[in-house]
Each structure stands twice: as C-alpha cells, then as structure tokens.
C-alpha cells in the first residue's frame, strides 16, 4: 500500500488490471534517449525506460525534461539519439505508427473561449480526422458523456473551470480509442475536488492502454500510478513503484521542530527535506538521515512517504542515496555532466 490518504481510484473493481506481458502489447520501450535542444540544452541525457500498460507516472521538477520526453514520444520532436519502440515498432523511424495510436494532452493546451464545449470538441475531432460511426456530433456527445461534461456541452469554454477544461482536453485525446495516452502535467492548477475527479477518469482510461502522466505533484503519482519514474535534469533517477521508493528511505526520515530563525543554520548541517511553518514561528521539519549519520537532537523517527523518497532523490548527491533507490534505477547510458 502507498501512504496516501485518498482512496486510490485504481482499487475500483475492473480498473487497471495487471499489465499484459510479452506479445505485441509490451508498451513503450525507451533506449538511450538523448535530446539536445538548441542553446545547447541537454534536456535528456540518456533515458532507458519501459512503460507497460496501465498508469505510469513521470515525476520531476520544472525543467527536468518531462515535456521534452513526452513530445518525443508523441512524435512531435525528433530525439538527438536513441530509440523508442511501441509494442515492438520503432516509432522514431515510423512516426505514423504512433500517431494512429496516440491520444495527447499537451501541457499548454489551447482553448477557444468563445466556442461551446461541444463545438470546440467537434472542431478538434475534425482536425484529428476522427469521425465515429454515427458522425462527428454523435461522437462528440459520446466523449463529453465519457468525461462528465454533457451538462456543460452548450456552455462557452470561457466559463469552464480548470478541471472542466482538462476534461475537455482529455475528451479529444481519447477520441479514436488510442493505444497510448500521454497527459502532460494535467493536474497543475486544479483544486483538490477537481483533481480527484480527474484521477478517477484517468484510472478508468488506463484499462488496457498505456497511460503516461507527467507531474511535479507527488500526490498524483501516489494516488494513481502502480509504477513511476523520477527524472531530474535530464537523468533517470528511479524506475520504481511507490511502495519500493518509500521503503527505500524507511528508517531514515526523522521529524522535529526548529525555530524559524535557526532554520538556515540547521539546513546547512542536515539534509532538510521539508519545513512547514506552524503558527508562524516554528517549523515542522523533516530530514533525511543517511545510514552512518546521526539524527538531529530532539528529532524522532517518522514513517516514510513517497514524497520523502522523491525529495531525497532531488536534494541528495548520488553517493548519499540509499542503495535500494539507486538499485531500482537502470544504468544510465548518456552523458552524466
């Protein structure tokens, strides 16, 4: 089990069966993927990753290379080096193979505020060249139903909430029943209730397809994803499960209180993971204490979370990382600088 307090949507009956291994349904296989943007900016420094059926979380801070990876997978950007196979077919050499099987919700999805939800969706379906057996209007209505927007179909997109916009974006992405669904930071800016709705929808959609979700929000992954990868500055830091990641730092997370004025000095001496101000003056602080090190005075052992594991990966040098977190990561093949 993960440490998340929300009921995981994938625990619902019939949702997210275990991935099918072998055959022609292996999912995505990424090997030695490098992308140097003009600048030059090394956005991806050699990524090796297998993404099976079901929900897969790609977790990393801003600038880590998530969108770069996703645009390459979507066939919109060519990699500098490396290969990507979908169910055994090389999609860098044959982008049309992927395009026919892809639903994509980009990070900056453009909306037409003066169109109604239904009109905008019909327009997007036309651009995508998807029609449906009963015609485009019928397909649009069916998709709106699928994402719970039927009652807002005739309202202008201008009046939609962030969550409604994202669900409309998802409606166009799932048109044509794609094998692969790529959603780039879809929950950024959603309020907690909208986020839960979006989670449920994604969990349902992950049945029998490859769904890749990028996010910088650990809760997204903890709630939804049986597997995840962590990337940082273009490098793959972990390819793991929420449980394995959490267990890797178990026994090394300590919590205590530090006066706000003393925090900078404290942070210079310890591996600070998070500091939350309580009543304006004192911080509730979590620290990572590597095996040989001593815990700060007055601190107590705390049960670890996926967030802790993620912050350890972000804040610590490679040689400080606990072995299970490192071991869960395949050998990097690219330039490490």
Ligand X SMILES: Nc1ncnc2c1ncn2[C@@H]1O[C@H](COP(=O)(O)OP(=O)(O)O)[C@@H](O)[C@H]1O
33: left (phi over 0), alpha (psi -120 to 50) or beta: beta
Residue with tokens 């037409």: 112
As a whole number of angstroms, the distance between CA 283 and CA 201 comes to 37
What part of residues 46-75 is at the interface with Mg ion (CB under 5 A)?
Answer: 66-67
The reply on whether position 215 binds ligand X by CB under 6 A is: no
CB closer to ligand X, 53 vs 184? 184
The 3-state DSSP class for residue 150 equals helix
User: From the list 64, 252, 289, 321, which residue makes contact with ligand X (rule: CB under 6 A)?
Assistant: 64
Q: Is 279 left (phi over 0), alpha (psi -120 to 50) or beta?
A: left
46 binds ligand X per the rule CB under 6 A: no
Under rule CB under 6 A, residue 108 binds ligand X? no
Coil, helix or strand at residue 332: coil
**Relative orientation angle of helices 117-128 and 162-174, to the nearest 10 degrees:** 30
- Cβ 77 to ligand X shortest distance, Å: 8
Nearer to Mg ion, 67 or 305 (CB): 67
Interface residue with ligand X among 46, 60, 106, 256 (CB under 6 A) is 60
CA distance 272 to 179: 41
Binders of Mg ion among residues 93 to 112 (CB under 5 A) are: 107
- Per partner kind, with CB cut-offs from 5 to 8 A, the member of ligand X, Mg ion, none near residue 68 is ligand X
Q: Which of 250, 234, 221 is nearest to 312 (CA)?
A: 250
Which partner in Mg ion, ligand X, none is near 60 (CB below 5 to 8 A by kind)? Answer: ligand X
Contacts of 107 (CB under 8 A, 6+ apart): 67, 184, 185, 214
Q: Residue 122: enclosing H or E segment and its boundaries? A: helix 117-128
Interaction of residue 65 with ligand X, rule CB under 6 A: yes
Footprint (CB under 6 A) of ligand X, residues 3-42: 37-39, 41
The number of residues that bind ligand X (CB under 6 A) is 13
Determine phi and psi for 44, rounding to 5 degrees: -130, 125
Q: Can you tell me which of 2, 26, 68, 172 binds ligand X, judged by CB under 6 A?
A: 68
CB 274 within 8 A of CB 219: no
* Phi, psi of 239, rounded to the nearest 5 degrees: -135, 100
Nearer to Mg ion, 67 or 283 (CB): 67
Minimum CB distance to Mg ion, residue 141 (Å):
32
Contact with ligand X (CB under 6 A): which of 5, 24, 62, 291? Answer: 62
Given 2, 67, 187, 283, the residue binding ligand X (CB under 6 A): 67
Query: Closest approach of Cβ 215 to Mg ion, in Å?
Result: 10
**How many positions of this chain bind Mg ion (CB under 5 A)?**
3
List phi, psi (to 5°) of 142. -60, -45
Q: Where do contacts with Mg ion occur on this chain (CB under 5 A)?
A: 66-67, 107
Q: Where do contacts with ligand X occur on this chain (CB under 6 A)?
A: 37-39, 41, 43, 60, 62-68
């Amino acid at each position: 089990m993960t440490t998340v307090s929300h009921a995981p949507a994938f625990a619902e009956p019939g949702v997210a069966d275990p991935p099918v291994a072998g055959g022609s349904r292996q999912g995505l296989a990424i090997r030695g993927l490098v992308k140097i943007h003009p600048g030059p900016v090394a956005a991806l420094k050699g990524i090796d990753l297998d993404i099976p059926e079901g929900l897969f979380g790609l977790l990393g801070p801003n600038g880590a290379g998530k969108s770069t990876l996703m645009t390459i997978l979507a066939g919109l950007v060519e990699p500098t080096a490396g290969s990507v196979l979908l169910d055994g077919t090389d999609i860098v050499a044959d982008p049309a193979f992927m395009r026919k099987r892809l639903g994509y919700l980009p990070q900056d999805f453009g909306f037409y505020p003066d169109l109604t939800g239904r009109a905008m969706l019909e327009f997007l379906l036309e651009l995508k060249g998807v029609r449906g057996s009963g015609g485009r209007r019928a397909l649009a209505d069916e998709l709106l139903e699928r994402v719970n927007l039927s009652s807002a179909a005739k309202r202008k997109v201008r009046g939609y909430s962030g969550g409604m916009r994202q669900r409309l974006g998802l409606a166009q992405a799932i048109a044509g029943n794609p094998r692969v669904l790529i959603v780039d930071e879809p929950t950024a800016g959603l309020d907690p209730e909208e986020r839960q709705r979006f989670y449920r929808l994604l969990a349902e959609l992950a049945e029998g397809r490859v769904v890749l979700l990028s996010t910088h929000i650990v809760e997204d992954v903890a709630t939804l994803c049986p597997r995840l990868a962590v990337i940082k500055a273009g490098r793959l830091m972990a390819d793991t499960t929420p449980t394995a990641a959490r267990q890797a730092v178990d026994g090394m997370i300590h919590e205590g209180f530090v006066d706000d004025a003393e925090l900078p000095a404290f942070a210079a001496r310890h591996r600070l993971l998070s500091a939350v101000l309580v009543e304006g003056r004192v911080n509730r602080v979590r620290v990572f204490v590597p095996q040989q090190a001593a815990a700060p005075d007055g601190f107590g052992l705390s049960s670890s979370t996926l967030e802790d594991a993620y912050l350890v990966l972000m804040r610590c040098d490679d040689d400080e990382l606990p072995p299970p977190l490192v071991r869960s990561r395949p050998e990097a093949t690219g330039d490490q600088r």
